[in-house]
Amino acid sequence: MSEHVHTQLSNGTGFITLDRPKTLNSLSLDMVRAMTQALLAWRDDASVAAVVVRSSSERALCAGGDIRFFHDVGRGNTQGGSALLEDFFTEEYALNHLIHFYPKPYVALMDGVVMGGGMGIAQGGPECGVRIVTGRTRMAMPEVNIGLFPDVGSSHFLSHAPGQLGMWLGLTGLTVGAADALYLDLADYFVPETELAGLAKLFESTPGKSLRDAVAVFACPHNAFAGDSELEAQRALIDQHFSAGSVPAIMDSLRGDSTPFAQKSLKAMELRSPLMMSVTHELLKRGASLGVSDCLRMERNLVRRNFEHGEIFEGVRALVIDKDNQPQWNPATLAEVTPAMVERFFEPCWPAWAHPLRHLA
């Protein structure tokens, strides 16, 4: 087991506590494996009736995958073919699938930062997911900011968000809080920080078989105090602009709107990878008609293509390694992105029978 993932059983509930605070619980391969091992064991254990995923720190549930690791091991092979890198994404996406279809209540306390891979371990499916946000929640799918694309099943959960909100979240990479998370249907309950000690006591004292209902009774009265959703207020604007047929069309539409929200969205997109925004746009369009398993298989293919291209290396260099925040995207502008470049990301890397996620049902 990983030193950064602590597990325990108490009163019929399995607890997974992420404990890598210096990196905001960024996921390593060992952490993915430790979570998977615990969830597989508890899935078939009749004495475990529910699972709770939480953090040892109030700063973050999980800020995503360990992008410094991606850069370092990927750079070791000019084609991004590191076995460790391949293992990470295959096993992370298999973990996301396991969580989405978990046969027992899966309670995720999304306190603090929840981004990228953190969303993947928080988004239990409709049959199992109990997703709790707090006043400290800072949620985002910011991958286009580092030359990647929204993954960990987001081609499913973003494409199924109301209207064009998922497209807005994926293309801008901007951060939202608790009220917006509820409106996006990426959270179920709001619990203010002042009530988290009581929630922790509830987790410990309630038998696992009753935990889902107990959380609902505890949390429901607080939802009205999550605040107003900016995305709800801007819904018409988002749907209007982000329903345009391409990333250039979306940005052109935003340029014609002088409202602060439209301009904030435009300025964010002007900093992102033109190629990966275009890939993300196509990804979410395709994901809307696919099930979770096929979405994860599609994303796994795109990860391989992304590392072959190398856009993520430049994004991580600019954001994390050199910290100059001046990525040299390739291509540098949207005008240079061709349909063939985008289509290349969706060309199969493996025959169907050899796909690393072929066994996902």
| Closest of 106, 190, 130, 120 to residue 158, by C-alpha | 120
Distances (CA, A) of 353 to 81, 300, 360: 20, 14, 12
- Over residues 296-312, the pLDDT tens digits come to 999 999 999 999 999 99
Mean of the pLDDT values across residues 133-157? 97
- Pairwise CA distance, residues 193 & 109, whole Å: 12
117 counts as catalytic: yes
Question: Catalytic residue among 66, 92, 111, 143, which?
Answer: 143
Amino acid in position 153: G
Q: Which band of pLDDT confidence, cut at 50, 70 and 90, is reported for residue 76? A: low
- The CB-based long-range contact list for 1-9 (8 Å cut-off, 24+ gap) reads 1/34, 1/37, 1/38, 2/28, 2/30, 2/31, 2/33, 2/34, 3/30, 4/28, 4/30, 4/31, 4/34, 5/30, 5/31, 5/34, 5/35, 5/38, 6/56, 7/34, 7/38, 9/42, 9/47, 9/48
Q: Kindly report, residue by residue over 185-210, the tens digit of the pLDDT.
A: 999 999 999 999 999 999 999 999 99
Give the pLDDT of residue 1: 62
Q: Which is catalytic among the residues 80, 112, 117, 118?
A: 117
User: Catalytic residue at 65?
Assistant: yes
In the set 12, 14, 64, 65, the catalytic residue is 65
Catalytic residue among 66, 151, 299, 311: 151
pLDDT of 130 strictly over 90: yes
Please say if 208 is a catalytic residue. no
Amino acid 53: pLDDT: 98
Q: Say whether 151 is catalytic.
A: yes
pLDDT at 78 over 60: no
Helix axis angle, 274-287 to 292-309, nearest 10°: 160
Model confidence, pTM: 0.96
Q: Please return the burial class of 344, using the count of CB atoms within 10 Å of its CB with bins 0-12, 13-18 and 19+.
A: middle
Q: What is the pLDDT of residue 81?
A: 52
**Mean predicted lDDT score pLDDT of the chain:** 96
